[in-house]
């Protein structure tokens, strides 16, 4: 038995890697903040080979600064589906071995695959189970077409994880939801245990890194990127994939160029630039009207500050009720207005309440035209006003404070 005077030990399990962009933006900053409040973390993560080779040294230095122990395991991709079960077995085995060595007070599980291990540690060893649900993961897999309802195997996988989801919700000591919309939907599920406390914590932004922009910084950034004066610059931040509606964003930009012929679309992304250019040409755009860049995380703010307005369209499917786009908080923290769509988490409510952009209700030419008409007003919005309006929601310090309150509730 450990005495009360000893530091409380937390096992943090994530199937996302710390060397991933998401790990650097949505895992490490919180853990560094919580470590200052007296918690010692052991992080069990799964790392992609190329990113691990590129970023492992940096992550080891960052974790060492906060006395965070890091246990990286290789992320498996083949064979499809079976590799995930293989990783799940390795995750559980490693977590049990770590617990026997460290004796954890709590296991913080990021999403569902990690939650299965957290539930096991609770049932076998009595470790507190902190379910950081993030989103409706099983429904995301279904909505994204990975687990098709008419597939004899994948439909069973979906049902299996919905059954697991019920166990997580009923046995957790605390639940984290990314959105208020997700919390409300969750409360209607028969599987939800209302006796388990639940806190809404969105994907927060590092307000120091994503500092407010101004005309001087914008000019400096444009000079560095060789963007001519007077061009209206749209930006897109983050990956381009399943949920992000690239075709619709390109169509919006094409329509906007009818009003702003000199407009430029700046992509800051790790996604395949060739693919994006091919899509742009197919949409009838001139490749010279696009600027595609891949930059380290610390250089993202100065690069995005070259833009006047940010675009982000995300598929408004059922599972996205629970989604909190990381990029939204980061862009708004810099005071850059956004054009986004409804049907995604709390996005519409936040953007409208902060007067921080325009929310399209659909992707028709008429809906786009309404958004385009708002641009002349939006680019005049004070960056400090936008930042001030969203800071209480997206501040990393606020997020760390909320997590700390939840930790104290579980571990007191």
Q: What is the pLDDT of residues 299-346, one digit of tens each?
A: 999 999 999 999 999 999 999 999 999 999 999 999 999 999 999 999
pLDDT at residue 1 above 70? no
Q: Are 350 and 393 in contact (CB under 8 A)?
A: yes
Nearest to 73 by CA among 101, 100, 55, 94: 94
Hey, which residues does 130 pair with through a beta bridge? 108, 174
Mean pLDDT across the chain: 95
pLDDT at residue 4 above 60? no
Buried (b) or exposed (e) across 322-349, using 16+ Cβ within 10 A? bbbbbbbbbbbbbbbbbbbbebbbbbbe
pLDDT at residue 3 above 80? no
Q: What is the pLDDT of residues 154-173, one digit of tens each?
A: 899 899 999 999 999 999 99
Average pLDDT over residues 359-382: 97
Q: What is the pLDDT of residues 242-292, one digit of tens each?
A: 899 999 999 999 999 999 999 999 999 999 999 999 999 999 999 999 999
Alpha-carbon span 350 to 332, nearest angstrom: 10
Residue 6 — very low, low, confident or very high, per pLDDT cuts 50/70/90?
A: low
Q: Starting at the edge strand that comes first in sequence, how are the strands of the sheet with 357-360 ordered?
A: 290-293, 264-268, 233-237, 309-312, 338-341, 357-360
What does the DSSP assignment read for 211-236?
PPP-HHHHHHHHHHHTPPTT--EEEE
Structural domains of the chain ordered from first start: 8-204+395-411 (3.40.50.2000), 215-394 (3.40.50.2000)
Proportion of the chain above pLDDT 90, given as a percent: 91
| Helices within 10-153 (DSSP H only) | 21-26, 28-35, 49-65, 82-102, 112-125, 137-143
Q: What is the pLDDT of residues 68-122, one digit of tens each?
A: 999 999 999 888 778 888 999 999 999 999 999 999 999 999 999 999 999 999 9
- Where residue 82 falls (left for φ over 0; alpha for ψ -120 to 50; beta otherwise) is alpha
For helices 28-35 and 49-65, what crossing angle results, to 10°?
A: 20
Q: Are 351 and 389 in contact (CB under 8 A)?
A: no
Q: How do the residues of the chain divide into helix, strand and coil, expressed in percent and rounded to 5?
A: 50, 15, 35
Residue 412 — very low, low, confident or very high, per pLDDT cuts 50/70/90?
A: confident
User: What pTM did the predictor assign?
Assistant: 0.92
Q: Is 223 exposed, middle or buried (0-12, 13-18, 19+ CB in 10 A)?
A: exposed
Alpha-carbon span 242 to 247, nearest angstrom: 12
Query: What pLDDT does 2 receive?
Result: 45
Q: Is 109 exposed, middle or buried (0-12, 13-18, 19+ CB in 10 A)?
A: buried
- What do you get for the CA distance between the two ends of the chain, in Å? 16
Average pLDDT over residues 53-60: 96
pLDDT at residue 43 above 80? yes
Alpha-carbon span 319 to 112, nearest angstrom: 14
Query: What pLDDT does 81 receive?
Result: 76
pLDDT at residue 15 above 80? yes
> 3-12, 166-175, 208-217, 399-408: which range is least confident on average?
3-12
């Amino acid at each position: 038995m450990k005495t009360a005077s000893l530091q409380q030990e937390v096992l943090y399990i994530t199937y996302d890697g710390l060397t991933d962009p998401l790990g650097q933006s949505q895992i490490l900053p919180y853990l560094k903040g919580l470590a200052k409040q007296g918690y010692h973390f052991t992080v069990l993560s799964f790392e992609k080979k190329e990113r691990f080779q590129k970023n492992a040294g940096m992550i080891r230095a960052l974790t060492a600064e906060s006395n965070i122990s890091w246990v990286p395991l290789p992320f498996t991709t083949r064979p499809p589906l079976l590799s995930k079960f293989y990783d799940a077995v390795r995750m559980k085995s490693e977590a049990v071995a770590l617990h026997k060595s460290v004796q954890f007070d709590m296991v913080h599980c990021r999403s569902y695959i990690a939650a299965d291990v957290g539930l096991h540690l609770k049932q076998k060893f009595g470790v507190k189970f902190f379910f950081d649900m993030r989103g409706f993961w099983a429904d995301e897999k279904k909505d994204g077409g990975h687990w098709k309802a008419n597939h004899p195997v994948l439909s069973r996988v979906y049902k299996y994880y919905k059954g697991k989801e019920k166990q997580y919700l009923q046995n957790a000591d605390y639940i984290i939801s990314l959105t208020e919309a997700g919390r409300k939907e969750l409360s209607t599920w028969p599987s939800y245990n209302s006796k388990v406390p639940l806190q809404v914590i969105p994907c927060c932004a590092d307000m120091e890194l994503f500092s407010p922009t101004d005309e001087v910084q914008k000019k400096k950034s444009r000079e560095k990127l060789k963007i001519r004066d007077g061009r209206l610059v749209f930006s897109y931040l983050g990956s381009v994939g399943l949920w992000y509606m690239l075709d619709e964003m390109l169509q919006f930009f094409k329509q906007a160029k009818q009003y702003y012929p000199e407009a430029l679309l700046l992509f800051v992304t790790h996604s395949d630039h060739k693919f994006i250019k091919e899509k742009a040409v197919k949409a009838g755009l001139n490749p010279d009207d696009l600027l595609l860049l891949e930059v380290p995380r610390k250089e993202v703010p100065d690069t995005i500050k070259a833009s006047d307005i940010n675009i982000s369209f995300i598929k408004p499917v059922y599972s996205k009720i629970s989604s909190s786009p990381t990029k939204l908080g980061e862009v708004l923290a810099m005071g850059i207005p956004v054009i986004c769509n409804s049907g995604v988490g709390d996005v519409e409510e936040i953007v409208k309440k902060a007067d921080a952009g325009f929310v399209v209700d659909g992707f028709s030419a008429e809906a786009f035209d309404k958004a385009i008409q708002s641009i002349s007003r939006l680019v005049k919005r004070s960056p400090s006003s936008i930042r001030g309006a969203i800071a209480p929601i997206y501040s990393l310090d606020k997020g760390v404070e909320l997590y700390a309150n939840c930790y104290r509730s579980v571990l007191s």
